[in-house]
C-alpha cells in the first residue's frame, strides 16, 4: 500500500524546526492514516561556520549579529521560548551554545541507513532535546556518542563515523537538494515530492496537506454511466 512520505529539511539547532516538528506531530495525531506515513529527516546547516568548540551562547551571538548586545539577544530568545512553550517545549535556548552540527547530521544519516526512519527519528528527537531542553553541546563527540548509543546505534559504527568524514557528502547533497527544491530556510517539509511547506506552520496546515496527499495517492475510481450496470453480466448470469 502506498504511504505518505514526509521529508523534513532541518537543523538540530533550529528552534523553529523543533516547534515545526511538534506541530506536524499534532497533525499526524489527528490523521487517520498516520501509520502509513513515513518521515525522513534531511540535513541542513543554519550556521556552517559555527565552531565545534562553542565560544558563545545563542543569545550572545544574536545580540552581536543583529545589534543590541546580549540583552537584545536574550529578548529574541525569550520570544521564541514563549512560542515553544505553547507546543509543550520548555526551551533553555538562552543557555544554549552556538555549535557546529555537521557531525550530528552525519550520525543522522548513519541512523537512517542502519535502522531506517524510526531509528533516525529517535536520534533526531534526542538531539533536539539535548540542545533545546538541556542546553547541551551537540558538537561534542562524547555527547553525540552517548545519545546515539542511547537510541540504539552500534557503538563501533558511531565511532567510525565520528573518527572520519563518512556521510559528509550526504550532508552536502541534502543541502544542495534543499536549494534545488526552492527552500530558502528551515524547517522545510516536502510531502510526496508534490507539496512543499516552508516554516513551522500551524498543525491545521499540515493536516490539510496530509489529507490532500493521501486522497491523491488513493484516488477512487469514478463510475461513468450511472450506478447500475447495463448490458453486462452479473453473478446471476447474463441477460440476453
Average pLDDT over residues 114-126: 98
Q: Answer yes or no: CATH 3.40.30.10 is held by domain 4-54+97-233.
A: yes
Q: pLDDT at position 227, please?
A: 59
Query: Which pLDDT score is estimated for 69?
Result: 86
What are residue 5's phi and psi, to 5 degrees? -100, 125
Give the number of residues written for the chain.
Answer: 240
38 closest CA partner among 12, 64, 2: 2
Question: How much is the CA Rg of the chain, to the nearest whole Å?
Answer: 22
pLDDT in tens, 47-78: 999 999 999 999 998 889 888 888 898 899 99
Region 216-225 average pLDDT: 73
Q: Is the pLDDT of residue 190 over 90?
A: yes
User: Does the pLDDT at position 231 exceed 70?
Assistant: no
Q: Is the pLDDT of residue 218 over 90?
A: no
pLDDT for 154-178, tens place per residue? 999 999 999 999 999 999 999 999 9
For the segment 200-218, the average pLDDT, to the nearest whole number, is 95
Residues near 190 by Cβ (< 8 Å), separated by ≥ 6?
A: 6, 7, 8, 9, 181, 196, 197
Q: Which of 68-82, 133-147, 171-185 has the lowest mean pLDDT?
A: 68-82
| pLDDT for 93 beyond 80 | yes
Share of the chain above pLDDT 70, in %: 91
Q: Is the pLDDT of residue 3 over 80?
A: yes
Euclidean distance between CA atoms 12 and 136, whole angstroms: 12
More confident residue, 170 or 218: 170
Cβ-in-10-Å burial (0-12, 13-18, 19+) of 104 comes to: buried
Question: What's the pLDDT at 129?
Answer: 98
- The whole-model pTM stands at 0.90
Distance CA 86, CA 161 (A): 36
d(CA 226, CA 229): 7
User: Which residues on neighbouring strands pair with residue 190, listed in sequence order?
Assistant: 7, 196
Amino acid at each position: 500500500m502506498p504511504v505518505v512520505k514526509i521529508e523534513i529539511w532541518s537543523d538540530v539547532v533550529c528552534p523553529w524546526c523543533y516547534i515545526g516538528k511538534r506541530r506536524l506531530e499534532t497533525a499526524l495525531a489527528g490523521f487517520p492514516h498516520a501509520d502509513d506515513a513515513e518521515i525522513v529527516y534531511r540535513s541542513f546547516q543554519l550556521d556552517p561556520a559555527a565552531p565545534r568548540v562553542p565560544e558563545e551562547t545563542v543569545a550572545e551571538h544574536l545580540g552581536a549579529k543583529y545589534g543590541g548586545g546580549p540583552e537584545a539577544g536574550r529578548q529574541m530568545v525569550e520570544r521564541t521560548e514563549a512560542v515553544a512553550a505553547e507546543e509543550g517545549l520548555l526551551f533553555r535556548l538562552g543557555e544554549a551554545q552556538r555549535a557546529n552540527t555537521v557531525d550530528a547530521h552525519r550520525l543522522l544519516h548513519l541512523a537512517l541507513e542502519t535502522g531506517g526512519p524510526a531509528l533516525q527519528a529517535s536520534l533526531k528527537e534526542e538531539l533536539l532535546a539535548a540542545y533545546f531542553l538541556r542546553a547541551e553541546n551537540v558538537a561534542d563527540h562524547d555527547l553525540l556518542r552517548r545519545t546515539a548509543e542511547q537510541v540504539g546505534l552500534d557503538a563501533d559504527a558511531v565511532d567510525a563515523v565520528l573518527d572520519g568524514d563518512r556521510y559528509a557528502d550526504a550532508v552536502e547533497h541534502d543541502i544542495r537538494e534543499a536549494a534545488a527544491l526552492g527552500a530558502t530556510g528551515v524547517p522545510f517539509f516536502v510531502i510526496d515530492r508534490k507539496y512543499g511547506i516552508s516554516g513551522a506552520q500551524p498543525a491545521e496546515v499540515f493536516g490539510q496537506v496530509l489529507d490532500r496527499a493521501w486522497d491523491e495517492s488513493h484516488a477512487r475510481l469514478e463510475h461513468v454511466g450511472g450506478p447500475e450496470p447495463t448490458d453486462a453480466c452479473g453473478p446471476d448470469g447474463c441477460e440476453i
